[in-house]
């Protein structure tokens, strides 16, 4: 038996018409007020309607545009992505995707597609991303410039630190050279022990110190016996060698705290700190014996048949209280040793 469907009532028809009119009115309003390119597509993606912004963006007059589908203005590489997006609009409230559209003049325009299915039509909004792309490009350029500035700043900081380190090293080298220069100014070139100037400076300091903080202080004046004879017999080079050797023997014979210097020519001096007269005589004897017992080249040709030294000893006291007194007393004692037959110590 055939079922006959009843015709819709006039009231139902009026209601459907009213709904359709409201939707059409809403779509017209959206088209008119939208600031972005807006299109209405049918189920196959053909253009049904476009607002002024949409026509301006694509560059096609409406008569041409209504003969086209949306995929006609999509970049070939994005066709499948846009097609999938249109299918997704049937299931989702809203779909967003980025693509390139190609206008009438062949220009590729970066856009964001925002779409949804409205009843039986697609409502598509295109957001022009050219300004955003320019901004992003400008930002990337600024970021690159900033990174370059940072790298330059870091390199400058590294270079500055390297210069500072080099400066410190140079200062250390200069200070070391200065110390070496000062030391060299105190050293006798030939023998390597202290020179006359440094000896006088140190003896002055020690005498002044003894006045403030009383403690024993003695002085040895040492002279090589018959040095002129040895020099004339064996030559100046040999004479220089025995001066070096004698300086070394004296240095080893005294204490580590004592100061040994070349006083001048073949004469040497030793400042004996915290040494009284008795200890000074013992140290002087040790020096004399050390030289006498050492074998020197051609010493048998010396007038006394040996290479020896004579020593004068002086000690600070109430009667010998100044540097001049100390030097004079030690020098007088040395000449007594010379007159007494040499190779001896007097004090």
Same domain, 273 and 284: yes
- Is 191 domain-assigned? no
Q: What is the pLDDT of residue 327?
A: 95
- List, edge to edge, every strand of the sheet that includes 38-41: 47-50, 38-41, 121-128, 108-118, 95-102
CATH code, domain carrying 104: 3.30.450.20
**Whether residue 211 has pLDDT greater than 50:** yes
Same domain, 342 and 229: yes
Which of residues 344 and 12 earns the better pLDDT score?
Answer: 344
Q: What is the pLDDT of residue 175?
A: 74
> Which tens digits make up the pLDDT trace of 280-329?
999 999 999 999 999 999 999 999 999 999 999 999 998 898 999 999 99
CA 250 vs CA 92, 286, 318, 336: distances in Å:
108, 9, 29, 20
- Is 182 domain-assigned? yes
- Is 237 domain-assigned? yes
- Is 202 domain-assigned? yes
Please state which of the ranges 3-7, 90-94, 110-114, 122-126 shows the lowest mean pLDDT.
3-7
Same domain, 66 and 142: no
pTM assigned to the model: 0.52
- Is 3 domain-assigned? no
Same domain, 123 and 134: no
**Domain containing 98: what range?**
10-128
Q: What is the pLDDT of residue 3?
A: 47
Residue 158 pLDDT grade (very low, low, confident, very high; cuts 50, 70, 90): confident
CATH code, domain carrying 235: 3.30.70.270
Same domain, 325 and 205: yes
Same domain, 182 and 204: no
Residue 6 main-chain phi, psi, to 5 deg:
-70, 145
> Which tens digits make up the pLDDT trace of 161-187?
887 887 788 777 767 766 665 555 788
Query: Which residues neighbour 107 within 8 Å (Cβ) at sequence distance 6 or greater?
Result: none
Query: Which residues neighbour 105 within 8 Å (Cβ) at sequence distance 6 or greater?
Result: 59
Total domains, the chain: 3
- Is 34 domain-assigned? yes
């Amino acid at each position: 038996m055939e079922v006959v469907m009843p015709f819709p009532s006039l009231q139902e028809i009026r209601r459907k018409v009213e709904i359709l009119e409201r939707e059409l009115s809403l779509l017209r309003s959206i088209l008119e007020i939208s600031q972005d390119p807006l299109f209405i597509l049918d189920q196959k993606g053909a253009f049904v309607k476009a607002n002024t912004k949409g026509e301006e963006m694509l560059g096609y007059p409406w008569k041409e545009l209504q003969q086209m589908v949306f995929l006609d203005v999509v970049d070939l590489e994005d066709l499948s992505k846009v097609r999938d997006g249109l299918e997704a609009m049937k299931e989702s409230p809203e779909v967003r995707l980025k693509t390139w559209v190609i206008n009438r003049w062949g220009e590729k325009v970066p856009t964001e597609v925002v779409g949804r299915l409205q009843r039986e039509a697609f409502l598509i909004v295109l957001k022009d991303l050219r300004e955003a792309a320019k901004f992003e490009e400008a930002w990337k350029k600024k970021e690159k410039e900033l990174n370059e500035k940072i790298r330059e700043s870091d390199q400058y900081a590294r270079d500055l630190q390297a210069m500072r380190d080099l400066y410190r090293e140079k200062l250390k080298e200069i200070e070391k050279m200065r110390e070496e220069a000062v030391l060299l100014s105190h050293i006798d070139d030939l023998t390597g022990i202290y020179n006359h100037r440094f000896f006088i400076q140190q003896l002055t300091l020690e005498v002044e110190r003894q006045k403030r903080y009383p403690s024993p202080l003695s002085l040895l004046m040492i002279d090589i016996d018959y040095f002129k004879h040895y020099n004339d017999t064996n030559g100046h080079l040999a004479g220089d060698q025995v001066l070096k050797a004698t300086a070394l023997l004296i240095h080893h014979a005294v204490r580590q705290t004592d100061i040994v210097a070349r006083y001048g020519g073949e004469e040497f001096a030793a400042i004996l700190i915290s040494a009284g007269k008795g200890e000074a005589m013992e140290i002087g004897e040790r020096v004399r014996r050390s030289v006498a017992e050492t074998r020197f080249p051609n010493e048998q040709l010396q007038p006394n048949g040996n290479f020896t030294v004579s020593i004068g000893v002086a000690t600070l006291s109430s009667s010998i209280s100044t540097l001049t007194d100390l030097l004079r007393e030690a020098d007088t004692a040395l000449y007594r040793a010379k007159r007494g037959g040499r190779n001896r110590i007097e004090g």
